A and B are shown apart, each in its own frame.
Chain A
Amino acid sequence: MASKAVKTFITPLGKENPVFVQILGICSTLAVTNKLENTIVMVLGVIFTTTLSSFTFSILRKVIPARIRMMVETLIIATFVIIVDIALKAYMPEIWQQLGPYVGLIITNCIVMGRMEAFAASNPPGLSLIDGLASGVGYAYVLVIIAFFRELLGSGTIWGFSIFGEWWTNWAIMIMPPGAFFMLAIFIWVVKGRVAE
C-alpha cells in the first residue's frame, strides 16, 4: 500500500508528467507563465482543484451512474474553481485582477478532468487524492521553471525584483505567448532529449 502510494505520487512528476510527457494543460502553460508571481498563484489554484476534485469524485464513483459521469466531473471541477476564484477576489484582489479570466479557465484544464477519468474513476479516494496532488505538482514545477526564465529574460526581474539592472534589454518576445512556445520546447528538449537518456 505504502509503495503503491509512493509510486502514484512519483509517476506524474516524471515518467507521466502531464505537461512535458502528456502535453496537457498547454493553454495555461502558455498564458500565465510570463510573471512568476501570477504563475505561483495559478499553479496553487490548479493543485487545489485537481487534488480535491479527484478525491471528491473518487468518493462518489460507485454512486454515480456511468451516463452522467462527465457532467458530475465538470460540476465538481467548476465548484472548486469558483471557490478559488472567490477566495482570490476576497483575499488577493490585486492578483485576481491580473490573472483575469485564467482562474476560471482552470475548469477547462484537461489535466483536472483527465486525472478524474483516468485515475479517480477506478481507484479509492486516498490514492486518488495523491494522484491529483502529484499531477498538480507535476504541472506546477514545469510552469514555475518556465515562468522563472520568461520573467528573467523578458523583464530582467524575478518576483518583481530587478536582477540584471539597467543595462539589460528586455526580450519582449519572452513576455508574449510565442516566448512560452520557445521556452516549453526547449524545456521538453532538455528533459526528454538529455535527461531521459
Chain B
Amino acid sequence: MKKTSFFSERIKPVIIMAVITIICIALVSGIHLSTQDLVIANEGLVLKKAVLFSAGVNLPEANSEINSLYDDRVEQKGDVFIVSGSSGGIAAYAFIAAGPGLWGEIEAVTAFKADLKTFAGVDFIKQNETPGLGARITEDWFREQLRDRQPPLVMNPEGTESSDAAEIDAITGASRTSEFVLSIFNDAGVRAAELKKEGM
C-alpha cells in the first residue's frame, strides 16, 4: 500500500475545504450585496401596493407610478397608514394585522374608512397557506368582498355572496385558513375601534 504523508492525509483536505468555502462564500455574498437594494425595494413595494389596494385606490401599472402615488397620498403615523382621498380628506386608515395561519403567520394590511367601523378593504402581504386552497385568500374575489363590510364578521359557505354587511364567504376546502383570516379581520375591527377612542 502506498504510504501517505501526514500533510496530504490531514492538512491538505483542510486547506482545500477552506479555500473552496471562501470562494463560495465570496460568490454568494457578492450576489447578495449586488441585489440587496432591489430586494429591499421589492419588499417596500409589496407593502405600498397593499396599503393602496386595501384603501381602495386604483393601482397604476408601473412601479415608479405606485411609488409616487404612495408618496402623494399616504402618510405614516406610528404604525397606522393614513390614506387621503383623491380630492383631499381622509379616505382610509390602514394598519398591519397579523395572526397565525395553517402553515405559518399570515400578515394582512387592513384598511378602515374614516368612521373606523367599516372596512375599506384588505390585502395580504405574507402567507404560506396551501396553494390552490388556503392561498386563495389572495384571489381578487376574496379580498374584494371585504369592501364596505363591518366587523365583527361571520362566514358563509363559499358562493353565498350575501349582501349583509357582517357576512363574508369562506373558502371551500380551507376551513382552517378561513377561520384564521376571519379572526385576523375581527381583531382588526377591535383595533380600529381602539384607534377611534384614541381620537384618530
Residues of A within 8 A of B (CB): 34-35, 38, 60, 63-65, 67-68, 71-72, 75-76, 78-79, 82-83, 86-87, 89-91, 93, 97-98, 100, 151, 154-155, 170, 172, 175-176
Contacts and interface: CB of A to CB of B under 8 A. Distances in A.
Given A60-B20, A72-B20, 6 more contacts: A34-B131, A65-B13, A72-B16, A86-B31, A98-B135, A175-B130
Given A67-B13, A68-B16, A71-B17, A93 B133 contact: no
Contacts, number: 73
B132 A63 contact: no
Nearest to B12: A65
Given A71-B17, A175-B130, A83 B31 contact: yes
A90 B39 contact: yes
Contacts of A71: 17
Given A75-B24, A90-B42, A93-B46, A35 B132 contact: yes
Interface pairs A-B: 3 shortest CB-CB: A175-B132, A90-B35, A172-B173
8 contacts: A60-B20, A65-B13, A67-B13, A68-B13, A68-B16, A87-B35, A90-B38, A90-B39
B25 to A, nearest CB: 8
Contacts of A82: 28
B172 interface: yes
A176 B17 contact: no
B16 A65 contact: yes
Contacts of A76: 20, 24
Chain A's interface: helix, strand, loop or mixed, by majority? Answer: helix
The size class of the interface chain B forms with chain A is 20 to 34
A196 B17 CA distance: 44
A64 B15 CA distance: 11
Interface string B134-153: 01000000000000000000
B125 to A, nearest CB: 9
B156 interface: no
A184 B167 CA distance: 40
A172 B46 CA distance: 29
B21 interface: yes
A76 B43 CA distance: 29
A175 B32 contact: no
Contacts of A83: 27-28, 31
B128 interface: yes
A67 B10 CA distance: 10
Nearest to B42: A93
A100 B13 CA distance: 35
A176 B133 contact: yes
Contact of B133 (A38, A86, A175): A175
Contact of A154 (B27, B43, B132): B132
Contacts of B27: 79, 83
A154 B173 CA distance: 11
A75 B16 CA distance: 12
Contact of B132 (A34, A86, A90): A34
Contacts of A98: 131, 135
Interface in B1-55: 8, 12-13, 16-17, 20-21, 24, 27-28, 31-32, 35, 38-39, 42-43, 46
A49 to B, nearest CB: 14
B17 A68 contact: yes
Contacts of B39: 86, 89-90, 93
